[in-house]
Every structure is written in C-alpha cells, then in structure tokens.
C-alpha cells in the first residue's frame, strides 16, 4: 500500500471512469478554455496516481450557464472553443453539456448541436448559478423527453441541506425521484447522492432508474457500504469532483469500502460505461 | 525554516506544473491525440512514506449519529498499522454530548493505555462548573499532552473570556490545546443538533497575549479567507483532515508555512486513507511530507520545559 492507495495493478484493474470531473466548473476562462485547461493540468497528478481511464466534464456552450455575457457570446460565435479540451485529450476526456432550464429553447437547440450532432454524451442540470432550476420545473419536461429520445445521460445536481434549501432552484433527491418516476425508461444520475447521503439513498431507493454519484462531500465513512446495501452496487457511479475535491477524498470512499472487489469495479467504471453505451452506440 | 520550506514547495509546484504544461503543449503541438494510457509521467515528486507517522486527529468510542466502519479500537488500530501510522492523538466522541467529562476522559485514558500507538487527548468544556478540575486531571494525573475543545458543541466562542482563561491555564500546565472548528459539514448535521463552525479569528488576540500557547485547529475546510486568518495568527497550527482540493495541502502550506501544518485524518468519522492519499497527490516534496506527517507534530507536542534549548524555535 502506497499512502493508502492499492497497488497499480489493482487500480488499473478497476478501470476507473470518472463521471464528475469539474475543472473550471463555473467559468472556463474569458478566452473560452484557458482556465479549463489549467484546471485539467492541475488535476493530472491525481489522474495519474489513480490510473483513471476516462473523465467526464461538463461544458458551457453559450446558453446562459455562466454569469459572463461576453463569454456566452464568444462560445456561441466560436463553438470550436467548446471542443478544445476534448481535442487536447481525446482519449481521456468525455463531455456533457450544462443545460439551462431558464432557457429551454436554447437548451433544446444545444441538445441537437452538441449531443445529437456533436461529441457530447449527456447533459448536466446545475444546482447553483444562473442556470440552476429545480428539476421539477415545468420547462424540464420537453428537455428531458428530448434527452431521452437521444439516449443521452442526465446528471442532476442534488444537495439536501440541514435547515433547508438556500435557493428554490436547488434540487433534492426526493424531487429527482419524483421526476424520474415519470420517465421510467430514462436513467438519471443523482449527483452527490444528495450530499446528506443517509437520506439521499433512502429517497431514491424505490426509483430504480435513479443512480447515485459519489462525489462532492467529505469522505464520510460508511457511505458506500450503506449505498451498496440499499441500492446495490449497480446503481452507484464514481465521481472525482477534481480538482476542487481530491483523489484522497473521492477515491477513498470506494476503494476502502467494505464491499467486494466486483462491486468496486461496478461503481468505479463498469456502471458508467454501461450507461454511456446507449448514446455511444449511436455516434 | 518556514520560508526555506515554502520555497521548496514553490519549486516543486513550479517543476510539476512545468512538466504538465510541457506535456500538454506537446500534445497540442503534435496535433495527434494522446493514447488513452499516456499522461505526463513526471507530475509527482519522488515519494516514500515517512517511517514514523503521527495522526494528530482521531476519535475513539461511538459517533452519536451512526455507527462507523472503524469505530472499534482494534479495527481502527489495525487500519493505522496498515497505513503506517505509528502514533494517533485520540479524543473521544463521547465528549460531544456528555457532561460527565471526568468519566469520559477516564475511559479514554484507560482505552489508550491498552494500545501503545494511541495518545489520549482529553476534553474540557469551560462552560461546565469547575472545568479546571478536568483540565488538571487531563494534563496532570492522566499525563495527557494536551486537551481537545469542542466550542461548537459546548456553546461558547473563542472570544469568550473563559476560553482565554483555559488557554492560559493549559499553557502553564505545559499542554497544547486542539480547537475543533467542526465535526462535520454543517449542511449534513442533524436538524435537531446543529453546531455552528467555530470562528478562529479571536485566536489572533490570545496567541499574542499568551506567547507560549500552543493551539491546533482541527477539521477546518479552509477557504482563502481562512488561510489568510491562519497565516496572521502567530504559531497557530492546522490539521489536514478536511483540507480538500487536489492541491489543498500544498496551498495551505504555502499560505501559513509548512511547519504549521500537521497531519490529521479525523478518522474514523472520515475514511483514514483520504488524508493519506492527499499527502501524495498534493505534489509537495518528500521532506515536506515528512514534516507534516511527523516532525511538526513531534515539535508541537514537546512542552517548553522538556524541549532541549537548541531545538526551541
């Protein structure tokens, strides 16, 4: 064991696919990509140390997901900027687009441009910032239906905070379960398992098309054990939240859990690969 | 000393960044995509685990809100052995809610006597009548090296006069003081028992007033503003347990000085491996890893009266 990490061959054997890579998450840089590239490079040591095979990040595509109007214009005028990270590390990075339910028309157009006709594999619904919207917002209906037609993946930010929501635009695992029950053939990823995972896991337990993502909160012991017990390892997807969280915090949750090695492989990559296979088969 | 090490960190980070940038520029200029298994191979400095590792922040007994996978002492110590942790400064989860702290500290002392690697750090609540009795027991009869305070759970702030009185007394008795600023993320606490994060800023005053005081902050997830605050407080040390971000430990060390960062895991509430892996991913040189995981804690623990004159700093 090297500083708490298993041997290289074990890590490689996990075939780690990271579903929640967040370089420059809220703003890619005024030129459209420099901050994003810097953050990717900042994460390289952790990526190398963890022997990650793939990482999925969430691109801004000029539909109002940042607070910077000039950047939004730039990304619309020069869509090639959106592709820069994928061109830089094409065999390492996967992409999804951040959607804006406050701009449903733009979101539907972006789906066609970037998912149907582009390289992106799914969509991300943020929980904060100008594009945040509660997942039960009526505008979600058409967007979710379109995502479903395309066979793409949905990652929904969720947090369940003591004392209640800080904004009505946040979503909880309970609300995501309600939304997901309306689309039983569409898979939804409940990002961060709701943060307060003891309730988050219970909230989605009876909604089998909801999977939970593992990042975005401290390395609280017992999380993966409870999630595996209540949901089964097939409904759990690893995320790193690098670079704002760490390999230590996020990978340790899974590799140290008291579950089987096969269950770890499910969580660290196998489930995510299966989820992405629908849209990947259409590209 | 601190400045020298800070330079080393800057150097290491600069070298690491340069190699990453070079590799990335190589990818770009070649216009040929990198194979999936290729990443810059020299992004981390050479590293080996120090032969002695001190975890300054663990807790024994049971977390009140759920059972934890390693909350039995034998399992926790087996994990320490597996990770190469040779010494762990242990507080008690019981201290969060119990008022009979004498018995809490006695149980802690007794349990630690069974395991050579466990060093007990008792709890004192200055809001309880006759708290000095607990302090004297901990630092006197129980011969603990320091005490652990839980202001968020015990209902006082660091600008309360009683905290200053406690710090003066502990310092006279030769003990250090650990201040727990949080036990868990405030967003995930029980709705019926919410403990606010402790504001560390009043420590500025006390650390100036009490020149020999030794204080360590535990369980802070430091923002940029926190780092500035810590840097401005003389001699204040900080544990690494919730210092997150892939470069979080290096950033903290750059801000406050490498010699003020002490390794801590906050296990078994947090997974012990998490803090350990962060020490290697943060990209600091082996000499600084050793300082954080061993030497700084050794120095912090030594009382002024027992420190050889030529090692005082």
Please count the structural domains in chain B. Answer: 1
Q: Which of A3, A165, A196 to probe the B interface (max B CBs under 10 A)?
A: A3
Measured CA to CA, the distance from residue A139 to residue B111 in angstroms comes to 59
The pLDDT confidence band at residue B43, using thresholds 50, 70 and 90, is: low
Place of tokens 């502990």: B170
Measured CA to CA, the distance from residue A259 to residue B96 in angstroms comes to 30
Q: What is the pLDDT of residue B47?
A: 78
Per-position DSSP letters for B194-225, written without gaps between them: --PPPP-TTHHHHHHHSTT--EEEES----HH
DSSP state of A163: T
Q: What is the pLDDT of residue B17?
A: 32
Which ranges in chain B belong to alpha helices (H)?
2-30, 73-83, 101-113, 131-136, 151-154, 161-172, 203-209, 224-232, 248-256, 272-281, 286-290, 296-301
CA of B247, closest CA in chain A: separation in Å?
8
pLDDT digits (tens, 9 = 90+) for A40-60: 999 999 999 999 999 999 999
Residue A140, pLDDT > 70, answer: yes
Contacts of B17 in chain A (CB under 8 A): 41-42
**pLDDT mean over A66-88:** 96
Among A89, A159, A242, whose Cβ lies nearest the Cβ of B34? Answer: A89
Domains of chain A: 15-281 (3.20.20.140)
**B126 domain-assigned:** yes
CA of A98, closest CA in chain B: separation in Å?
22
pLDDT digits (tens, 9 = 90+) for B149-177: 999 999 999 999 999 999 999 999 999 99
CB contact under 8 A, A247 and B277: yes
B280 within 8 A of B44, measured Cβ to Cβ: yes
CB contact under 8 A, A249 and B278: yes
State which residue of chain A sits closest to B194, comparing Cα positions. Answer: A162
B203 within 8 A of B218, measured Cβ to Cβ: no
Place of tokens 């009795």: B133
CATH number at residue B229: 3.20.20.140
Query: Lowest-pLDDT range, A15-29, A255-269, B45-59, B195-209?
Result: B45-59
A283 within 8 A of A119, measured Cβ to Cβ: yes
Measured CA to CA, the distance from residue A257 to residue B285 in angstroms comes to 29
CB contact under 8 A, A45 and B246: yes
Work out the percent of chain B whose per-residue pLDDT is above 70. 82
A157 within 8 A of A134, measured Cβ to Cβ: no
Sign of CA dihedral B83, B86, B89, B93: positive
Q: What is the pLDDT of residue B38?
A: 39
DSSP state of A238: -
Q: What is the pLDDT of residue A240?
A: 98
A1 within 8 A of A256, measured Cβ to Cβ: no
Residue range of the domain that includes B209: 2-17+50-185+197-302
Phi, psi (deg, nearest 5) at residue B149: -110, 145
For A269, the token pair is 């990559």
**pLDDT mean over A256-272:** 98
Q: Which of B273, B282, B286, B294 to probe the A interface (max A CBs under 10 A)?
A: B273
**B111 domain-assigned:** yes
Contacts of B284 in chain A (CB under 8 A): none
| pTM, two decimal places | 0.91
Count of other CB atoms within 10 angstroms of residue B273: 26
CB contact under 8 A, A45 and B69: no
Residues in chain B: 313
**pLDDT mean over B89-102:** 98
Q: What is the pLDDT of residue B303?
A: 58
- Grouping H, G, I as helix, E, B as strand and the rest as coil, residue A45 is helix
Contacts of B41 in chain A (CB under 8 A): 48
Count of other CB atoms within 10 angstroms of residue B114: 10
Among A221, A247, A252, whose Cβ lies nearest the Cβ of B69? Answer: A221
**B45 domain-assigned:** no
Contacts of B283 in chain A (CB under 8 A): 45
The pLDDT confidence band at residue A142, using thresholds 50, 70 and 90, is: very high
Residue B211, pLDDT > 50, answer: yes
Q: Which residues contact B130 (CB under 8 A, 6 or more apart)?
A: none
Residue B181, pLDDT > 60, answer: yes
Separation of CA A278 from chain center: 17
Measured CA to CA, the distance from residue A120 to residue A98 in angstroms comes to 10
Residue A1, pLDDT > 80, answer: no
CB contact under 8 A, B273 and A48: no
Question: For the purposes of burial, counting CB atoms within 10 Å of the CB of A8, is it exposed (0-12), middle (13-18) or buried (19 or more)?
Answer: exposed
CA-based nearest residue to B232, from B259, B250, B255: B255
Residue B87, pLDDT > 70, answer: yes
The pLDDT confidence band at residue B33, using thresholds 50, 70 and 90, is: very low
Q: Which residues contact A223 (CB under 8 A, 6 or more apart)?
A: A193, A197, A214, A253, A257
Among B36, B269, B281, whose Cβ lies nearest the Cβ of A92? Answer: B36
Residue A202, pLDDT > 80, answer: yes
Per-position DSSP letters for B287-307, written without gaps between them: HHHHIIIIIHHHHHHS-TTTS
CA of A261, closest CA in chain B: separation in Å?
17
CB contact under 8 A, A162 and B188: yes
Mean pLDDT rounded to a whole number for chain B = 87
Residue A61, pLDDT > 50, answer: yes
Contacts of A11 in chain B (CB under 8 A): none
- Grouping H, G, I as helix, E, B as strand and the rest as coil, residue A182 is coil
**pLDDT mean over B100-112:** 98
pLDDT digits (tens, 9 = 90+) for B248-293: 999 999 999 999 999 999 999 999 999 999 999 998 999 999 999 9
């Amino acid at each position: 064991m090297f500083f708490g990490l298993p041997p290289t061959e074990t890590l490689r054997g996990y075939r780690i696919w990271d579903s929640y890579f967040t370089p420059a998450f809220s703003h890619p840089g005024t030129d459209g990509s420099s901050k994003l590239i810097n953050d990717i490079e900042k994460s390289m040591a952790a990526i190398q140390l963890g022997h990650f095979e793939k990482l999925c990040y969430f691109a801004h595509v000029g539909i109002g997901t940042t607070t910077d109007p000039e950047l939004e214009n730039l990304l619309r005028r020069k869509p090639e900027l959106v592709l820069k990270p994928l061109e830089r590390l094409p065999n390492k990075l996967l992409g999804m687009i951040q959607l804006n339910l406050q701009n449903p028309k733009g979101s539907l157009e972006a789906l066609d441009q970037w998912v149907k006709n582009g390289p992106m594999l799914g969509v991300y619904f943020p929980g904060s910032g100008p594009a945040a919207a509660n997942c039960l917002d009526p505008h979600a209906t058409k967007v979710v239906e379109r995502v479903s037609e395309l066979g793409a993946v949905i990652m929904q930010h969720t947090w369940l905070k003591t004392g209640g929501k800080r904004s009505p635009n946040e979503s909880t695992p309970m609300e995501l379960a309600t939304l997901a029950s309306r689309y039983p053939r569409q898979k939804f990823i409940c990002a961060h398992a709701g943060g307060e995972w003891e309730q988050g896991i219970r909230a989605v337990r009876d909604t089998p098309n909801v999977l939970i993502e593992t990042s975005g909160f401290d390395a609280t012991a017992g999380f993966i054990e409870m999630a595996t017990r209540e949901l089964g390892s097939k409904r759990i997807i690893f995320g790193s939240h690098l670079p704002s969280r760490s390999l230590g915090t996020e990978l340790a949750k899974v590799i140290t859990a008291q579950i089987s090695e096969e269950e770890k492989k499910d969580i660290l990559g196998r489930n995510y690969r299966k989820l992405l296979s629908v849209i990947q088969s259409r590209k | 000393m601190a400045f020298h090490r800070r330079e080393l960190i800057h150097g290491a980070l600069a070298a690491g960044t340069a190699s990453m940038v070079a590799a990335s520029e190589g990818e770009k200029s070649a216009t040929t995509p990198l194979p999936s298994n290729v990443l810059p191979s020299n992004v981390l400095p050479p590293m080996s685990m120090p032969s002695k590792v001190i975890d300054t922040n663990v807790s024994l007994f049971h977390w009140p809100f759920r059972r934890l996978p390693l909350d039995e002492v034998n399992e926790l110590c087996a994990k320490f052995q597996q990770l190469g942790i040779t010494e762990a400064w242990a507080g008690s989860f019981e201290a969060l809610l119990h008022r009979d702290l004498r018995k809490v500290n006695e149980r802690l002392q007794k349990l630690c006597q069974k395991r050579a690697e466990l060093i007990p750090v008792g709890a004192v609540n200055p809001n309880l009548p006759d708290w000095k009795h607990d302090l004297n027991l901990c630092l006197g009869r129980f011969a603990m090296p320091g005490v652990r305070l839980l202001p968020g759970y015990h209902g006082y702030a660091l600008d309360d006069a009683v905290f200053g009185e406690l710090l003066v007394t502990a310092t006279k008795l030769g003990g250090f003081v650990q201040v727990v600023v949080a036990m868990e993320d405030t967003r995930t606490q029980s709705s019926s028992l919410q403990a606010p994060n402790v504001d560390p800023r009043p420590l500025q005053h006390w650390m100036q007033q009490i020149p020999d005081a030794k204080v360590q902050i535990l369980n802070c997830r430091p923002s940029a503003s926190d780092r500035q605050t810590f840097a401005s407080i003389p001699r204040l040390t900080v544990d690494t347990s919730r210092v997150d971000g892939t470069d979080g430990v290096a950033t903290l060390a750059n801000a406050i000085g490498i010699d003020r960062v002490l390794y801590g895991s906050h296990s078994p509430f947090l997974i012990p491996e998490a803090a350990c892996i962060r020490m290697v991913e943060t990209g600091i040189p082996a000499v600084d890893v050793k300082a954080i995981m061993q030497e700084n804690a050794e120095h912090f623990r030594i009382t002024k009266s027992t420190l050889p004159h030529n090692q005082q700093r």
